[in-house]
Amino acid sequence: MKNSITKAILILAILLCWSGSAISAEGVFQRAYENSIDGTMTVLVTWEATALGGVTPFHVSGLTPYYVWKMLTDPSGVTGPTDNYDVYLIDIEHGNDILGGQGLNRDATNSEVAIPCIDISAGLYGGYYLFDGSGVSLHIRNNDVSGASGTVTFFGYK
């Protein structure tokens, strides 16, 4: 019996380590997956609003050194956010929104994809490079629904 429990705990520990890294904070949970074969990274952030509808800005790790080339937002099916809520991915060092405003006005019921806008005047869209050691934080704004939740997935490549 003791041997079976030890094996089960060992298997669980291996699965948790193998599946990626996870970080959590108040109302936010992050999981990062790296594919060493093709040099891509996927970072999934799950968020939940407080009783007042706010979401604490969250430091996102695992996106460096990668080009962030796509974001997918997916509101929760249980308690969705306010329609036209906003998502920002802020480069802490430079203070700018890596998405170039493409995370604004997210739908409350449907999944949506956004490609970062590098230069709005030139209509230039594509990957935003984050140097190793760059800090980025996720901001969810303009939500007034208590307990609203959703996911934001970022896709990167080297």
Taking a C-beta distance cutoff of 8 angstroms, is the pair 116, 98 a contact? yes
Taking a C-beta distance cutoff of 8 angstroms, is the pair 120, 101 a contact? yes
For the chain, what percent of residues have pLDDT higher than 90? 46
Digit-coded pLDDT (tens) for 106-151: 999 999 999 999 887 888 898 888 887 778 999 999 999 999 999 9
Mean pLDDT of 74-97: 91
Q: Which residues contact 151 (CB under 8 A, 6 or more apart)?
A: 44, 45, 46, 47, 72, 73, 74, 76
Quick check: 94 pLDDT over 90?
Answer: no
Q: Which secondary structure element, helix H or strand E, spans residue 153, and what is its range? A: strand 149-157
> Could you tell me if residue 120 is left (phi over 0), alpha (psi between -120 and 50 degrees) or otherwise beta?
alpha
Per domain, the residue ranges of the chain are 21-157
Q: What CATH code would you report for 21-157?
A: 2.60.120
What spatial distance separates the first Cα and last Cα of the chain, rounded to whole Å?
47
